[in-house]
Amino acid sequence: MFLLADDWWQIAAAGEKGLGVFAMKEIKAGTIIGDYLGKVIKTARYDLDRDKKGLFLMYFTDQASIYPNLKKPGIHLLNHSCRPNCWIYTYYGHSLFFALRKINPGEELTISYLLSPKDEICNPCVHTCKCESKFCTGTMHLSRDKYEIWQKFQNNQKKKSKKIKVVFGKNLPKLTTYPKRVPNNPIYSLIANM
Ligand SMILES: [Zn+2]
Ligand SMILES: [Zn+2]
């Protein structure tokens, strides 16, 4: 679900990547873009046949994940980039996307899919990156360094954040209120520039 009003973004063709989300207005750094909503499913029961690249599943708890409604426009349409301009802020367990830096009108909104470092499990790997950023590593898998920094940060956040109950098979309800901006945290700029 987008939390930015409709006139702030547009879904359009993004070259080889298929569809993408583009800014229509200047988005300030720290602005919350949307909430990753969808059906709560058991992570273990995930049907990889429907989503061969496994890119739409969003971690929620160790047992539960969120699978978005692919028929509706939503922030699951953000493409991966090795140098993304958006990042994830965990808020009451929800994954909010926010602008890591100022995003100009016409610019594509991108996120890191935060795939764990490449290993034997992902073989043959289908996660080729086509982000065309100067820093493209050619793969959507994070480097071990970046992954470890992010995991450590997120585990700390998780300990601090309130636990919320989820119902399997039901849509994750939206929160009653959302912050407009994320708190400034040095981890974001650190990650963004790695
Ligand atoms: Zn892979
Ligand atoms: Zn790339």
Order of all β-strands in the sheet with 86-91: 32-35, 94-99, 86-91
> Cα of 113 to ligand 1 centre, how many Å?
11
How do residues 96-122 score in pLDDT, each as one tens digit? 999 999 999 999 999 999 998 987 778
> How much is the pLDDT for 50?
66
Q: Which amino acid is at 159?
A: K
> Cα of 140 to ligand 2 centre, how many Å?
7
Q: What does the DSSP assignment read for 98-129? A: EESS-B-TTPEEEE---BPPP-TTS-S---B-
- The band of 48, judged by pLDDT with boundaries at 50, 70 and 90, is low
Q: What is the domain partition of the chain in residue ranges?
A: 6-192
As a whole number of angstroms, the distance between CA 82 and CA 140 comes to 7
> Cα of 122 to ligand 2 centre, how many Å?
17
Here the tokens at position 17 are 């990547």
- The band of 182, judged by pLDDT with boundaries at 50, 70 and 90, is very high
Neighbours of ion ligand 2 (CB under 5 A): 82, 129, 131, 136
> How much is the pLDDT for 62?
81
By the 8 A CB rule, do 178 and 3 touch?
A: yes
Question: Domain 6-192: which topology?
Answer: Beta-clip-like (2.170.270)
> Cα of 168 to ligand 2 centre, how many Å?
34
> How much is the pLDDT for 154?
87
Q: What does the DSSP assignment read for the chain? A: -B-S-GGGEEEEE-GGG-EEEEESS-B-TTBEEEE---EEEEGGG--TTTSTT--S-EE-SSSEEEE--TTS--GGGPEE-SS-SEEEEEETTEEEEEESS-B-TTPEEEE---BPPP-TTS-S---B-----TT--SBSBPPHHHHHHHHHHHHHHHHHSPP----TTSBPPPPS---SBPPP-HHHHHHHT-
Q: Please tell me whether the overall predicted TM-score, pTM, comes out greater than 0.85 for this model.
A: yes
> Cα of 26 to ligand 2 centre, how many Å?
23
CA angle, corner 77, sides to 75 and 99, nearest 5? 50
In the predicted model, is pLDDT for residue 187 greater than 80? yes
Here the tokens at position 124 are 């043959």
User: Regarding predicted confidence, which is higher, 51 or 173?
Assistant: 173
> Cα of 121 to ligand 2 centre, how many Å?
21
Here the tokens at position 96 are 């909010």
Tokens 């071990």 -> residue: 144
> Cα of 1 to ligand 2 centre, how many Å?
25
> Cα of 183 to ligand 1 centre, how many Å?
32
> Cα of 62 to ligand 1 centre, how many Å?
21
> Cα of 129 to ligand 2 centre, how many Å?
4
> Cα of 127 to ligand 1 centre, how many Å?
4
**What mean pLDDT, rounded, does the chain reach?**
90
> How much is the pLDDT for 158?
80
Here the tokens at position 82 are 């090795």
In the predicted model, is pLDDT for residue 194 greater than 80? no
How do residues 56-103 score in pLDDT, each as one tens digit? 989 888 889 999 999 999 999 999 999 999 999 999 889 999 999 999
> Cα of 162 to ligand 2 centre, how many Å?
34
